[in-house]
Amino acid sequence: MSKLPLPLFGVAALALLVVIVNSAFIVPETHSALVFRFGEPKSQYEEAGLKFKVPFAENVNYIDRRNRHLEQDQTEIIARNQERLIVDAFARYKIVDPLLFYQSVRTELRGEQRLSNQLNDSLRAVLGSVTIDEIISERRSELMTRIQEGLTQSARPLGVEIVDVKIRRADLPQTNSEAVFQRMIAERRQLAQQYRSEGNERANQLRAQADRQVIEIKAEAEEEAQKIRGAADAERNAIFAAAYSKDPEFFAFYRSLLAYEEALQDGETTILLSPDSEFFRYFNNLQGNRQ
């Protein structure tokens, strides 16, 4: 059996090496690979490892599957109350379907331009439906969610997944920022006055309720006191009646002493009576006996 001359063997080995080099390619873990045949996409590889293609007729284009940053130019938004707002926003996204992405936009540059336009449209649609006060208030996170949902829906046909959307800044133009600031101050003062009025009204209601309760409590206490005084007077009268029945003369003497005490308080009482008046019975006759 004849052998190939050494020069021809070397050429054949070199040609085989060239074919192998042009047939094999490696897909990194962070990328996907698109295989093109004469400029048309034929297949895609998402798993990392060594792959093969038709040499010379096919070429490979790698697509980074990691999160990407989409920087948005400052956008002027007209809010629902017809006031302008300068918005500085950005988005993060990743290509989840490289073949669909290529078929839709062809190049990554055109893909970013398309996403930028879609982000701009989503910002205008959402922020244009609310007022500036709502944009800078606690509703801001809710608005971000709505913007991201809108961008996700429009980016899905491109084979792109939206990871996040953020508004870095939302500033008023210099020409109307002072007017808006003064209007916001006036609105907050009006709101504060409303809260104060409502607070005063509530305080008056509570005071009136407390006054009614005080009156009711006093009335109940007075009624109870009258009952107690009535019971005490009845008991006292019963005791007096019992004492009178046992010793009428002593009872009369005791009642006279009470009358003297009531009539001659503080030594300032002047009484004009006849010396033989019944009132001075026990002064004139220490025995209390009638003359």
All domains of the chain, ordered by start, with CATH? 6-64 (no CATH), 68-172 (3.30.479.30), 247-291 (no CATH)
Q: Which tokens sit at 191? A: 């709101």
**Which of the four pLDDT bands, split at 50, 70 and 90, describes residue 283?**
low
- Interval 41-65 mean pLDDT: 84
What are the tokens at 252?
Answer: 């009369």
CA distance readout (Å), 236 to 221, 239, 243, 255, 258: 22, 5, 10, 13, 14
Distance from C-alpha of 100 to C-alpha of 156, rounded to nearest angstrom: 10
pLDDT at 91 over 90: yes
Sheet with 40-45: strands ordered across: 40-45, 31-37, 58-64
List the end-to-end C-alpha distance of the chain, in Å, as a whole number.
184
Neighbouring residues of 86: CB distance < 8 A, sequence distance ≥ 6: 74, 75, 76, 77, 169, 170, 171, 172, 173
Confidence of residue 19 (pLDDT cuts 50, 70, 90): low
Nearest-10 crossing angle of helices 98-105, 108-127: 80
Question: Across the strands, what pairs with 36?
Answer: 41, 59
What radius of gyration, in Å, describes the C-alpha atoms of the chain? 53
Which residues, listed in sequence order, are joined to residue 68 by a DSSP beta bridge?
A: 93
Q: What is the pLDDT of residues 181-204, one digit of tens each?
A: 777 788 888 889 999 999 999 999
Please report the pLDDT score of residue 43 as a whole number. 83
Q: What percent of the chain has pLDDT over 90?
A: 18
Choice between 25 and 261, residue whose per-residue pLDDT is larger: 25
Amino acid residing at 100 = L
Question: Per-residue DSSP letters for 109-164?
Answer: HHHHHHHHHHHHHHHHHHHTTS-HHHHTSTTHHHHHHHHHHHHHHHHGGGTEEEEE
Single out the residue of 132, 46, 55 nearest to residue 87, CA to CA.
132
Q: Which residues pair with 69 in a beta bridge?
A: 92
Of 86, 60, 88, residue with least CA distance to 73: 88
* Rounded mean pLDDT, 97-101: 91
Q: What whole-number distance in Å separates Cα of residue 233 and Cα of residue 219?
A: 21
Confidence of residue 291 (pLDDT cuts 50, 70, 90): very low
Backbone angles phi, psi at 166, to 5 degrees: -135, 145
For residues 45 and 39, the answer to whether their CB atoms sit within 8 Å is no
Average pLDDT over the chain, rounded to an integer: 80
